[in-house]
Amino acid sequence: MKEKIDLSKLPRHIAVIMDGNGRWAKQKGRLRVFGHQNGVLAVRETVETAAELGIKFLTLYAFSTENWNRPKFEVNALMELLISTIRKETKTLTDNNIRLEAIGDLDSLPSGCRKELQEAMDLTAGNKRMSLILALSYSSKWEILNAVKKIATAVEKKEISVNNINESLFNSFLCTANFPDPELLIRTSGEQRISNFLLWQIAYSELYFSEKLWPDFRKEDLYAAILDYQGRERRFGKTSEQIAS
């Protein structure tokens, strides 16, 4: 399938809602945490495949603001898994010239997790091949409200005039200010929802829903998503004829 991909028409930015870890574990009669542990293998394969292809930005929804409401045992296990994965994978990221970045309410993460994340981000800050962006304690409504508060404060201080508030200024107040909007958003597990993820940024993204549960997501599934994306006509509100000319 890889040969069919047009490398000159790759999405620059792919965002992924990694869903189905819990159901995957349940199908095997195991605890949900077992699903998350196996989800890490799919993360590794997806990162590797995206970098090999030449994708420049890959954003993974690893933990939502709403996920804090899960049982304490599961939240703790996810934080531990994050710490151990970041610790284990930083060298591979460096060897492959991949930069680690994060979006979300990072201050709400446990200090050990924040520290590990910060160290890995600092160590990989100079890497240029691809940015791997983890959405952690992230929700889009939180991000948008946060931006609105910052803009309101700047207006109050007369640093910004209301007339200067436009899309580009608003973008600059989001966690994703340094990244282009994703052209492709993938969600696994057959669910067809956005779940408070990048609501502003996906205004014109192509959505792709895979039936695979996240721990089963493999190279070929990413290729299939990109091929599907490449078969679509992106009109951005224009007509087909306008796009063709």
Does 12 help bind ligand FPP (rule: CB under 6 A)?
Answer: no
Residue of 178, 177, 148 lying closest to 165 (CA atoms):
148
Using the Cα atoms of residue 170, residue 172, residue 174 and residue 179 in order, give the sign of their dihedral: positive
Does 195 help bind ligand FPP (rule: CB under 6 A)?
Answer: no
- Cβ distance to ligand FPP smaller for residue 133 or 147: 133
Distance of CA 162 to CAs 67, 154, 157, 159, 166, Å? Answer: 35, 10, 12, 10, 9
Least distance to ligand FPP, CB of residue 118, Å: 15
Residue of 50, 217, 197, 45 lying closest to 135 (CA atoms):
197
Site of tokens 């200090």? 111
Does 60 help bind ligand FPP (rule: CB under 6 A)?
Answer: yes
Among the listed residues 38, 67, 95, 163, the single catalytic one is 67
Does 20 help bind ligand FPP (rule: CB under 6 A)?
Answer: yes
Least distance to ligand FPP, CB of residue 61, Å: 7
- Confirm whether 67 is a catalytic residue: yes
- Cβ distance to ligand FPP smaller for residue 103 or 147: 103
Give the number of other Cβ atoms within 10 Å of residue 111's Cβ: 8
Does 75 help bind ligand FPP (rule: CB under 6 A)?
Answer: no
Contacts of 33 (CB under 8 A, 6+ apart): 25, 73, 74, 77, 78, 81
Least distance to ligand FPP, CB of residue 194, Å: 14
Least distance to ligand FPP, CB of residue 207, Å: 17
DSSP character at residue 147: H
Question: What is the greatest pairwise CA distance in the chain?
Answer: 59
- Confirm whether 105 is a catalytic residue: no
Binders of ligand FPP among residues 200 to 229 (CB under 6 A) are 214
> What is d(CA 102, CA 109) in angstroms, rounded to the nearest whole number?
12
Interface stretch with ligand FPP, choices 3-11, 16-24, 100-108, 198-206 (CB under 6 A): 16-24
Interface stretch with ligand FPP, choices 78-86, 118-126, 157-165, 220-228 (CB under 6 A): 78-86
- By CB under 6 A, name the binding residues for ligand FPP: 18-23, 32, 36, 39-40, 43, 60, 62, 67, 81-82, 85, 134, 189, 214
**Which residues belong to the active site?**
19, 67
